[in-house]
Structure 1
Protein backbone atom coordinates (compact mmCIF):
# COMPACT_ATOMS: atom_id res chain seq x y z
CA UNK A 1 0.00 0.00 0.00
CA UNK A 2 1.41 3.38 -1.00
CA UNK A 3 1.54 5.96 1.82
CA UNK A 4 0.59 9.53 1.02
CA UNK A 5 3.41 12.02 1.65
CA UNK A 6 1.08 13.89 4.05
CA UNK A 7 0.40 10.79 6.15
CA UNK A 8 2.18 10.47 9.48
CA UNK A 9 5.14 8.08 9.45
CA UNK A 10 5.76 7.66 13.21
CA UNK A 11 3.94 5.84 15.97
CA UNK A 12 1.05 7.73 17.52
CA UNK A 13 -0.93 7.25 20.70
CA UNK A 14 -4.70 7.64 20.88
CA UNK A 15 -5.49 10.64 23.04
CA UNK A 16 -8.27 12.80 24.37
CA UNK A 17 -6.56 16.08 25.25
CA UNK A 18 -8.06 19.55 24.88
CA UNK A 19 -5.63 21.82 23.04
CA UNK A 20 -5.63 25.52 22.30
CA UNK A 21 -4.24 26.39 18.89
CA UNK A 22 -3.73 29.48 16.78
CA UNK A 23 -3.99 29.53 13.00
CA UNK A 24 -4.85 32.29 10.51
CA UNK A 25 -8.56 31.52 11.12
CA UNK A 26 -8.13 32.47 14.82
CA UNK A 27 -7.47 30.86 18.20
CA UNK A 28 -9.57 27.79 19.00
CA UNK A 29 -9.89 24.89 21.46
CA UNK A 30 -10.52 21.37 20.21
CA UNK A 31 -9.57 17.78 21.07
CA UNK A 32 -6.32 16.05 20.10
CA UNK A 33 -7.37 12.56 18.95
CA UNK A 34 -3.87 11.12 18.51
CA UNK A 35 -0.33 12.30 19.07
CA UNK A 36 3.24 11.19 18.47
CA UNK A 37 6.72 12.66 18.55
CA UNK A 38 6.33 14.11 15.05
CA UNK A 39 2.78 15.39 15.03
CA UNK A 40 -0.85 15.09 16.03
CA UNK A 41 -4.42 15.01 14.76
CA UNK A 42 -7.08 17.44 16.01
CA UNK A 43 -10.73 16.54 15.61
CA UNK A 44 -12.85 19.54 14.67
CA UNK A 45 -15.60 20.66 12.33
CA UNK A 46 -13.78 23.97 11.75
CA UNK A 47 -12.47 24.66 8.28
CA UNK A 48 -8.69 24.97 8.70
CA UNK A 49 -6.54 25.62 5.63
CA UNK A 50 -3.86 23.07 4.76
CA UNK A 51 -0.25 24.26 4.52
CA UNK A 52 -0.40 26.97 7.15
CA UNK A 53 1.64 27.39 10.33
CA UNK A 54 0.08 26.52 13.68
CA UNK A 55 0.94 27.09 17.35
CA UNK A 56 -0.53 24.56 19.80
CA UNK A 57 -0.58 24.43 23.60
CA UNK A 58 -1.76 21.40 25.60
CA UNK A 59 -0.99 19.30 28.70
CA UNK A 60 1.00 16.17 27.94
CA UNK A 61 2.11 14.29 31.04
CA UNK A 62 0.47 16.44 33.75
CA UNK A 63 -2.48 18.82 33.56
CA UNK A 64 -0.55 21.57 35.38
CA UNK A 65 2.33 21.51 32.89
CA UNK A 66 1.55 22.48 29.30
CA UNK A 67 3.61 21.98 26.18
CA UNK A 68 3.77 24.62 23.45
CA UNK A 69 4.73 23.47 19.95
CA UNK A 70 4.70 24.90 16.46
CA UNK A 71 4.11 23.08 13.23
CA UNK A 72 2.34 22.99 9.92
CA UNK A 73 -1.13 21.75 8.95
CA UNK A 74 -0.30 18.90 6.57
CA UNK A 75 -3.67 17.23 5.99
CA UNK A 76 -7.30 18.29 6.28
CA UNK A 77 -10.36 16.05 6.12
CA UNK A 78 -14.02 16.18 7.14
CA UNK A 79 -13.23 15.21 10.76
CA UNK A 80 -10.29 17.54 11.45
CA UNK A 81 -6.67 18.08 10.52
CA UNK A 82 -3.16 16.66 10.98
CA UNK A 83 -0.14 18.66 12.11
CA UNK A 84 3.55 17.91 11.57
CA UNK A 85 5.68 19.51 14.31
CA UNK A 86 8.59 21.75 13.34
CA UNK A 87 10.78 19.59 15.57
CA UNK A 88 10.21 16.24 17.27
CA UNK A 89 8.81 16.13 20.79
CA UNK A 90 11.66 14.15 22.32
CA UNK A 91 9.48 13.20 25.32
CA UNK A 92 7.15 11.27 23.00
CA UNK A 93 9.72 9.22 21.14
CA UNK A 94 8.93 5.52 21.46
CA UNK A 95 11.32 3.64 23.71
CA UNK A 96 11.50 -0.15 23.34
CA UNK A 97 8.57 0.10 20.93
CA UNK A 98 6.32 1.72 23.55
CA UNK A 99 5.09 5.30 23.71
CA UNK A 100 5.07 6.92 27.18
CA UNK A 101 1.81 7.42 29.07
CA UNK A 102 0.10 10.77 28.55
CA UNK A 103 -2.76 12.58 30.24
CA UNK A 104 -6.38 12.27 29.07
CA UNK A 105 -9.25 14.66 29.78
CA UNK A 106 -11.30 11.78 31.19
CA UNK A 107 -8.67 11.44 33.95
CA UNK A 108 -8.86 15.11 35.01
CA UNK A 109 -9.96 15.46 38.64
CA UNK A 110 -10.28 19.24 38.79
Structure 2
Protein backbone atom coordinates (compact mmCIF):
# COMPACT_ATOMS: atom_id res chain seq x y z
CA UNK A 1 0.00 0.00 0.00
CA UNK A 2 1.33 3.40 -1.01
CA UNK A 3 1.37 6.27 1.48
CA UNK A 4 -0.40 9.29 -0.01
CA UNK A 5 0.55 12.86 0.75
CA UNK A 6 -2.44 14.82 2.08
CA UNK A 7 -4.14 17.02 -0.54
CA UNK A 8 -3.20 20.54 0.56
CA UNK A 9 -4.22 22.29 -2.65
CA UNK A 10 -5.51 25.82 -2.28
CA UNK A 11 -7.57 25.68 -5.51
CA UNK A 12 -9.80 22.91 -6.90
CA UNK A 13 -8.54 20.82 -9.83
CA UNK A 14 -10.34 19.83 -12.98
CA UNK A 15 -9.57 17.08 -15.46
CA UNK A 16 -8.07 18.29 -18.70
CA UNK A 17 -6.93 16.97 -22.07
CA UNK A 18 -4.88 19.87 -23.44
CA UNK A 19 -1.64 19.73 -25.44
CA UNK A 20 1.07 21.74 -23.67
CA UNK A 21 4.43 22.83 -24.99
CA UNK A 22 7.00 23.19 -22.24
CA UNK A 23 10.65 24.06 -21.81
CA UNK A 24 13.16 23.03 -19.17
CA UNK A 25 16.93 23.18 -19.22
CA UNK A 26 16.97 19.71 -20.89
CA UNK A 27 14.97 20.92 -23.89
CA UNK A 28 11.49 21.58 -25.27
CA UNK A 29 8.68 19.01 -25.28
CA UNK A 30 4.95 18.49 -25.99
CA UNK A 31 2.64 16.35 -23.90
CA UNK A 32 -0.91 16.39 -22.54
CA UNK A 33 -2.11 18.15 -19.41
CA UNK A 34 -4.04 15.61 -17.32
CA UNK A 35 -5.48 18.04 -14.75
CA UNK A 36 -5.17 21.71 -13.90
CA UNK A 37 -5.98 24.23 -11.18
CA UNK A 38 -5.27 27.92 -10.69
CA UNK A 39 -1.91 27.15 -9.07
CA UNK A 40 -0.63 24.07 -10.88
CA UNK A 41 -1.11 21.16 -13.24
CA UNK A 42 -0.13 17.59 -13.99
CA UNK A 43 1.48 16.62 -17.31
CA UNK A 44 1.05 13.05 -18.54
CA UNK A 45 4.36 11.76 -19.91
CA UNK A 46 7.05 9.11 -19.47
CA UNK A 47 9.66 11.86 -18.98
CA UNK A 48 11.04 12.57 -15.49
CA UNK A 49 12.48 15.89 -14.32
CA UNK A 50 14.22 17.07 -11.17
CA UNK A 51 11.91 18.40 -8.44
CA UNK A 52 12.55 22.13 -8.05
CA UNK A 53 13.52 22.59 -11.71
CA UNK A 54 12.08 25.67 -13.43
CA UNK A 55 9.63 25.13 -16.29
CA UNK A 56 7.78 27.38 -18.77
CA UNK A 57 4.55 26.04 -20.30
CA UNK A 58 2.38 27.27 -23.19
CA UNK A 59 -1.10 25.93 -23.86
CA UNK A 60 -4.62 27.01 -24.88
CA UNK A 61 -6.92 27.32 -21.91
CA UNK A 62 -10.21 29.05 -22.63
CA UNK A 63 -9.99 29.21 -26.44
CA UNK A 64 -7.89 27.17 -28.88
CA UNK A 65 -6.55 30.30 -30.61
CA UNK A 66 -5.55 32.00 -27.32
CA UNK A 67 -2.41 30.43 -25.87
CA UNK A 68 -1.25 31.37 -22.38
CA UNK A 69 2.25 31.07 -20.96
CA UNK A 70 3.02 30.27 -17.33
CA UNK A 71 6.19 29.59 -15.41
CA UNK A 72 6.64 27.37 -12.41
CA UNK A 73 8.57 24.53 -10.84
CA UNK A 74 8.41 20.75 -11.11
CA UNK A 75 7.26 19.51 -7.69
CA UNK A 76 6.73 15.78 -8.16
CA UNK A 77 7.24 12.86 -10.55
CA UNK A 78 4.80 9.94 -10.74
CA UNK A 79 4.86 6.87 -12.94
CA UNK A 80 2.60 8.56 -15.51
CA UNK A 81 3.97 12.13 -15.45
CA UNK A 82 4.95 15.10 -13.33
CA UNK A 83 3.30 17.89 -11.33
CA UNK A 84 4.04 21.61 -11.61
CA UNK A 85 3.22 24.46 -9.27
CA UNK A 86 2.93 27.89 -10.92
CA UNK A 87 4.93 30.92 -9.81
CA UNK A 88 1.66 32.92 -9.89
CA UNK A 89 -1.91 31.53 -10.01
CA UNK A 90 -3.86 31.79 -13.27
CA UNK A 91 -6.54 34.36 -12.44
CA UNK A 92 -9.05 32.92 -14.90
CA UNK A 93 -8.99 29.56 -13.08
CA UNK A 94 -9.66 30.88 -9.61
CA UNK A 95 -12.96 29.35 -8.55
CA UNK A 96 -15.82 31.84 -8.43
CA UNK A 97 -18.78 30.97 -6.21
CA UNK A 98 -17.88 27.29 -6.24
CA UNK A 99 -17.75 26.98 -10.04
CA UNK A 100 -14.68 26.39 -12.17
CA UNK A 101 -14.72 28.19 -15.54
CA UNK A 102 -14.96 26.21 -18.76
CA UNK A 103 -11.68 25.27 -20.36
CA UNK A 104 -10.93 23.87 -23.82
CA UNK A 105 -10.01 20.23 -24.33
CA UNK A 106 -8.49 18.54 -27.38
CA UNK A 107 -11.64 16.44 -27.73
CA UNK A 108 -13.61 19.67 -28.41
CA UNK A 109 -11.82 20.32 -31.70
TM-score for the superposition, normalised by structure 1 = 0.90
Residue equivalent to 1:69: 70
Q: Does 1:3 align with 2:6?
A: yes
CA RMSD of aligned residues (A): 1.6
TM-score for the superposition, normalised by structure 2 = 0.91
Offset at residue 10 of structure 1 (A):
2.1
Q: Which runs of 5+ in 1 are unaligned?
A: none
* Runs of 4+ off more than 3 Å: none
Separation in 2 of the partners of 1:2 and 1:24?
28
Q: Which runs of 5+ in 2 are unaligned?
A: none
Separation in 2 of the partners of 1:41 and 1:10?
14
Contact residue 8 and residue 39 of structure 1 kept, 8 A: no
Number of equivalenced pairs = 106
Residue equivalent to 2:22: 21
